[in-house]
Amino acid sequence: MKKRAFISLIVFVVGLGVTAAATAKGAHALAMSGMVSAVDPKAKTFSLKDKKGNETPITWTAATRVRGGKLKDGERVDVSVFQKDGKNVATTIRIASATKTAKGS
Indicate whether 58 belongs to any domain: yes
Indicate whether 21 belongs to any domain: no
Indicate whether 9 belongs to any domain: no
| C-alpha span between 84 and 73 (Å, rounded) | 24
pTM reported for the whole predicted model = 0.65
pLDDT in tens, 35-73: 999 999 999 999 999 999 999 999 999 999 999 988 999
Q: How many domains does the chain have?
A: 1
User: Residue 93 maps to which CATH number?
Assistant: 2.40.50.320
pLDDT in tens, 70-105: 899 999 999 999 998 889 999 999 998 655 544 444
Residue-range definition of the domain harbouring residue 96: 30-104
